Amino acid sequence: MAIAAYPNLLAPGRIGAMELRNRMIVTAMGVNFGEDDGGSGERVLHYHEAQARGGVALIISGACGVAYPVGQVQPWQVAISDDRYIPGLRKVVDAVHKHGAKFAVQLHQGGLVAGDDTRAGRPQWCPSVPEPMKGDFVDGFLLPELQAFASAGMPSYKVLTHEDIQVVVGQYAAGARRAKEAGCDGVEIHGGHGYLLSSFLSPKTNTRSDEYGGSTENRSRFLVEVVRAVRAAVGPDFAVWVKLDSREVGKEGGITLEHAKVTARLVEDAGADAITVSSYHDTGQGKLHSASNIPHEPNWNLPAAQAIREVVSIPVIASGRVEPEHADKEIAAGHFDFLAMGRKLLADPELPKKLAEGREDEVRPCVYCYTCVSKIYTLEATCCAVHPELGIEYLRLDPPKPQAAKRVAVIGGGPGGMEAARRLARDGHQVTLFEKSDRLGGTLRFASLAYAANEGLLDWLRARVEESSVQVRLSSEATPAVLAELRIEEVVVATGARRDMPAISGSDLPHVFSGDDMRRMMLGENSESLAGKTSLLTRIATKAGAATGLTANLDFVRKATRTWMPLGDRVVIIGGELVGLELAEFLAERGRSVTVVDDQPRLGAGLTLVRRLRLLTELREHGLGLHAGAKEIRIEAGRVCFTAKDGSAQSVDADHVIVAKGAAGDLSQAEAFRAAGFRVHEVGDCRGVGYIEGAMRSAMEAADAVNAA
Ligand SMILES: Cc1cc2nc3c(=O)[nH]c(=O)nc-3n(C[C@H](O)[C@H](O)[C@H](O)COP(=O)(O)O)c2cc1C
């Protein structure tokens, strides 16, 4: 029986008076889908409706401004600061209810994080004037990102008087009343993440000496007053709960678990029906989301959720990169009661339904690329690298339907090609997928080796193609003659980027590998091109690996390369974009002393902002030399020489040099098929390097175009 696999996660539950069909919740995510005036319009509605249709029990809105525009953190944040927001919200709630899910609003005032206050020339509301932000946070920004981020300018502050505090308490109560009038099933009071209420909870930002500062009880007073006022506004039969930080990571003198336990008990006494357990961080640090509210560390917040559950008698909602299987066990063990998921449900809103139907293998996995969160930092609407429909559901209510079943050739079995083939087969077309190597995956295989989370997508795409009607032709070259013979009507070209060796002096030396050489060596793909560069033993080992199929198993390669890798101890990587940096991490983890050199002014293009910030910080922690803005780079026997940004002449010893640079779009195949008279659609990196997000999005567009033709 399908349900037996997740009996606890799929069991009904209750938060206060709110009955829930299972234990899965869409966590609050401010995704920037609101209207220009803070209204909840069509975009918000169809985004949430897709989640409700996917089988989740409860959807919590993104941070919804109770004092909007005061306290605003995003340009298209949703608001609940006026009765005029009720009708739009009611439509969202009705759409969600149609599918049997419940809807709650997250009540929010941005306080010291309200960049929009600064952008609009308003002061940020706070308990006391904060210390200036310190740390390496902005070092990893690329220049356009820095411009967006810095557009706010320098903040000014409004230290709240007792009267101001009462105004805010009233704003929360009025927001809750409006949520109830709109038909919502509950409200979550945002008491975390550095926003106004948590800036009072944190001893780091609250240095007041009145009854709202000092002891944990005093620092919790504002939140407790909000909970009481909200409860009074909505009555006993409406679910009201609080999101709390269990601690502030890397923020010396910030909230600790002991503080959080005290606050949790106080808000329970004040009338809260549940606690959502999160955590926060020091905003100045580069590893912003490693162990924090949107954690990279799996299960990061679970021990704290359990500790808090032990001191309260109301349900606890946990979140933070928790796999459903693990959550099921934790719920069974009584460690928490509900699982709120964010990124996983952006990647696949149908996750709950798929679990319930025993189709968990079909859940499209989040690859933890941080595209979604990074968009928030650069003040854009969220999108998802693996789920291109996210956020544009309202534009795709009637996506192009196939006019007729067509014979389609997809050329290239990388992520874009597999995704296009999967979609086209699903839509009823007869698809032949040509892949010139002996296995599917393309660049996603190497990307999975360097960043294991990508492997989930690789497996998912491969499984979808294998179970579909797609005819896969491995080790096959598609030519116009072959396609003509198959009477192909439409061609999707997904042949990837061209990677030329850039003009770097010494790049023809025997100790220099291209990114492609590295890939072939690691994955055992066609070792012939490595002849002369690697020892005979290495070539035999690589070939043997490929022949036995061992290197098809990426986990094996990951482990094997920890003990065996045909590279010397000192490696210089020329090229500091996504591929170069991920490779640097991979090699550093395998004991190599790595230096990255690039002529670009900043490293990490191609990585999403949040992931780049973490990776750069981690690489520095590993002790890697990172040289952006290098000039006159030249490779010599045993070393790489260049002029560093500060004008100094540098020489770095190198047993091997890897040039991970020079990838560019390549439309030559697309043009050849077009010239032969085929209708051609281009997908993925052949259009210019677009990584996973570009591949998945263009695959959707190509499938639409084939359908519409
Ligand atoms: C795009 C994005 C926006 C978020 N916005 C909010 C927000 O508005 N309010 C909030 O409390 N948490 C916000 N979060 C944090 C999530 O609620 C949640 O705590 C976090 O994503 C961990 O869950 P996950 O690992 O399942 O993604 C956001 C997370 C993401 C990914």
Residue 3 — very low, low, confident or very high, per pLDDT cuts 50/70/90?
Answer: very low
Class of domain 407-497+665-708: alpha beta
Ligand 1 centroid from CA 57, angstroms: 17
For a ligand 1 pocket test, name from 24, 25, 27 the mutation site with the most ligand atoms within 8 angstroms of its C-beta: 27
For the segment 156-199, what is each residue's pLDDT rounded down to a tens digit? 999 999 999 999 999 999 999 999 999 999 999 999 999 999 99
> Cβ(28) to ligand 1 under 6 A?
yes
65 in contact with ligand 1, CB cutoff 6 A:
no
The answer to whether the CB of 62 is under 6 A from ligand 1 is: yes
User: DSSP 3-state helix, strand, coil percentages of the chain (rounded to 5)?
Assistant: 40, 20, 40
Segment 355-407, tens digit of pLDDT: 999 999 999 999 999 999 999 988 999 999 999 999 999 999 999 889 899 99
Cα angle, residue 678 at apex, residues 673 and 680 outer, rounded to 5°:
75
Ligand 1 contact via 324 beta carbon (within 6 Å) = no
pLDDT digit string (tens) for 337-359? 999 999 999 999 999 999 999 99
Sign, CA torsion 217/222/223/225: positive
Q: Is the CB of 31 under 6 A from ligand 1?
A: yes
3-state secondary structure 105-146: EEEECCHHHCHHHHHCCCCEEECCCCCCCCCCHHHHCCHHHH
What is residue 293's predicted lDDT score, i.e. its pLDDT?
A: 85
At position 3, the amino acid (one-letter code) is: I
| CA 554 – ligand 1 centroid, Å | 30
| Nearest Cα residue to atom 5 of ligand 1 | 29
Say yes or no to pLDDT of 593 above 90. yes
Least confident interval from 282-296, 425-439, 582-596: 282-296
From ligand 1's centre to the CA of 108, what distance in Å?
Answer: 13
Tell me, using a 6 A CB cutoff, whether residue 317 lines ligand 1: no
Query: What pLDDT shows up at residue 377?
Result: 87
HSE (CB half, 13 Å, CA atoms) of 490?
Answer: 23
Copy the structure tokens of residue 486: 């198959």
Main-chain phi, psi angles of 641, to 5 degrees: -115, 145
pLDDT at residue number 560: 76
Distance CA 637, CA 660 (A): 19
- Residue 547 pLDDT exceeds 70: no
Three-class SS state of 518:
helix
Which pLDDT value is given to residue 695? 97
The verdict on the CB of residue 343 being under 6 Å from ligand 1 is: yes
- Domain ranges in the chain? 2-395, 407-497+665-708, 502-662
Q: How far is the CA of 293 from the centre of ligand 1 (A)?
A: 7
- Least confidently predicted of 49-63, 73-87, 518-532, 628-642: 518-532
Question: 382 CB less than 6 Å from ligand 1?
Answer: yes
Residue 437, CA atoms < 13 Å, CB-side half-sphere: 20
Mean pLDDT for the stretch of residues 443-472: 94
- Its sign, for the CA torsion 160, 162, 166, 169, is positive
Helix (H) or strand (E) holding 338: strand 338-341
Q: For 458-569, where are the E strands, in sequence order?
A: 471-473, 490-493, 498-499, 512-514
Q: In what order do the strands lie in the sheet with 490-493?
A: 471-473, 430-434, 407-411, 490-493, 679-682
Half-sphere exposure of 667 (CA within 13 A, CB side): 9
pLDDT of residue 143: 80
pLDDT at 662: 81
Element housing 616 (H / E):
helix 609-621
**Using CA atoms, how far apart are residues 301 and 299, in angstroms rounded to an integer?**
6
d(Cα 675, Cα 51) in Å, to the nearest integer? Answer: 44
Among the listed ranges 2-11, 200-209, 532-541, which one has the minimum average pLDDT value?
532-541
pLDDT of 534 reads: 62
User: For ligand 1, is residue 302 a contact (CB within 6 Å)?
Assistant: no
Q: Is 81 in the pocket of ligand 1 (CB under 6 A)?
A: no
CA of 112 to the centre of ligand 1 (A): 18
With a 6 Å cutoff on the Cβ, whether 342 touches ligand 1 is yes
The residue behind tokens 């009708």 is 87
Is 175:79 a contact under the CB 8 Å cutoff?
no
Amino acid 522: pLDDT? 74
Establish whether residue 29 lines the binding site of ligand 1, counting it when its CB lies within 6 angstroms of any ligand atom: yes
**CA neighbours closer than 13 Å in the CB half-sphere of residue 136:** 15
pLDDT attached to residue 39: 98
Measured in angstroms, how far is the CA atom of residue 28 from the centroid of ligand 1?
6
190 Cα nearest atom in ligand 1: 11
Asked if CATH classification 3.50.50.60 holds for the domain at 502-662, the reply, yes or no, is: yes
Task: Check if 58 has its Cβ closer than 6 Å to any atom of ligand 1.
Answer: no
In the reported structure, the alpha carbon of residue 306 is separated from the centroid of ligand 1 by a whole-number distance in angstroms of: 20
Which protein residue's CA is at the shortest distance from atom 13 of ligand 1? 29
* Highest mean pLDDT pick, 92-106, 527-541, 588-602: 92-106
Compute, in angstroms, the gap from residue 50 CA to the centroid of ligand 1. Answer: 18
How are beta strands 58-65 and 78-79 bridged, if at all?
parallel
Q: What pLDDT is stored for residue 527 in this prediction? A: 55
Question: Quick one: fold of 2-395?
Answer: TIM Barrel (3.20.20)
Cα–Cα distance measured from residue 408 to residue 428, given in angstroms and rounded to the nearest whole number? 11
pLDDT at 422: 98
Residue range 545-552: average pLDDT? 61
Bridge-based pairing of strands 656-659 and 512-514 is parallel
Torsion, Cα 318 320 321 326, to 10 degrees, reads: -20
Question: What pLDDT is stored for residue 2 in this prediction?
Answer: 42
Query: For residues 11 and 327, is the Cβ–Cβ distance under 8 A?
Result: no
Mean pLDDT over all residues of the chain? 92
Q: Which residue type, as a one-letter code, is found at position 661?
A: K
Q: Running DSSP on this structure, what letter comes out for residue 505?
A: B
Fill in the amino acid letter for 246. Answer: S
Q: Is 411 in the pocket of ligand 1 (CB under 6 A)?
A: no
Ligand 1 atom with minimal separation from the 30 CA: 8
Atom of ligand 1 nearest to the CA of 192: 11
Whether residue 279 has its Cβ less than 6 Å from ligand 1: no
The larger pLDDT score, comparing residue 502 to residue 268, is at 268
Give the distance (Å) from ligand 1 centre to CA of residue 116: 19
Instruction: Out of 140-144, 309-313, 435-439, pick the least confident.
Output: 140-144
67 vs 565: which has the higher pLDDT: 67
Q: How far apart are the CA of 70 and the centre of ligand 1, in A?
A: 21
Q: Under a CB-based contact definition with an 8 Å cutoff, are residues 694 and 672 in contact?
A: no
- Asked if residue 561 has its Cβ within 6 Å of ligand 1, the reply is no
Q: For residue 329, what are its two tokens? A: 């066990």
Q: Would you place residue 1 in the very low, low, confident or very high pLDDT band (cuts 50, 70, 90)?
A: very low
> What is the predicted pLDDT for the residue at 288?
72
Instruction: Output the six-digit token pair for 325.
Output: 């299987």
Q: What whole-number distance in Å separates Cα of residue 569 and Cα of residue 479? A: 43
**Which pTM was predicted?**
0.94
Cβ–Cβ under 8 Å, residues 573 and 653: no
Mutate to test the pocket of ligand 1, among 29, 297, 609 (most ligand atoms within 8 A of CB): 29
Closest ligand 1 atom to the C-alpha of 73?
A: 8
Q: Average pLDDT of 323-345?
A: 98
